[in-house]
Amino acid sequence: MPINIPNSLTLARIVLIPVFVGIFYVPDAWLGVADKNLLATIVFVIAAVTDWFDGYLARALGQTSAFGAFLDPVADKLMVAAALILLVQLARVDALIAVIIIGREITISALREWMARVGKSASVAVAYVGKLKTAAQMTAIPLLLYNAPLLYLDVRLAGQVLIYVAAALTLWSMGYYLRRALPLLAEHGE
């Protein structure tokens, strides 16, 4: 495993997951609910920002690696899955939405792995709808974590709307990737 700045940021994102989850298990006497929400939001946003930076720095510094290309999406999916499970537990996200989003991530990851093995990974490269899904999801989750009015914005309502948009885009993008892969699946007798 090459240790460089991009990979270190990705590893830091993975290390932040138990910190992020642990915030909600701190006794309320030590940290109030509003403070937990704020702190968890900050940790999630820091993790999301490191996701952007690690990819940017890997390309800018010429430090891309097979390990980084493997680990980066794993770190992203783990952080999003942890956040969604917590939000379900906190009754801020419906379990069906979490299942749709997490299920899609697992399905498309497996599809990409298979496509890479048959030398067709470009067929399931990230599409624009996937980027829209990620943007909606990465905006919704911090809003739902924060869960308090901010200026004149009903943050929780905005987060709920965006998580439903993210779920719809999740299904759309999964359909897109599966349609791209079906001819190759048929070609390989799968």
Dihedral, 175, 14, 22, 44 alpha carbons, nearest 10: -60
Q: Maximum distance among all alpha carbons in the chain?
A: 60
State the pLDDT confidence band at 110, using cuts at 50, 70 and 90. confident
Reading phi first (left if > 0) and then psi (alpha if -120 to 50, else beta), residue 62 is in: left
For the chain, what are the domain ranges? 1-91, 92-190
Most confident of 25-29, 59-63, 106-110: 25-29
28-42, 106-120, 129-143, 145-159: which range is least confident on average? 106-120
Tens-digit pLDDT profile for residues 58-71: 888 888 877 777 78
Contact 55, 73 (CB under 8 A): no
CA distances to 9, 112, 118, 186 from 190, in Å: 37, 15, 12, 6
For residues 172 and 176, give the distance between their C-alpha atoms in angstroms, rounded to a whole number: 6
DSSP letters, 113-140, are: HHHHHTT-GGGGPPPHHHHHHHHHHHHH
Q: Would you say 163 and 137 are in contact if contact means Cβ atoms under 8 Å apart?
A: yes
Model pLDDT, residue 181: 78
pLDDT score of 122 more than 70: no
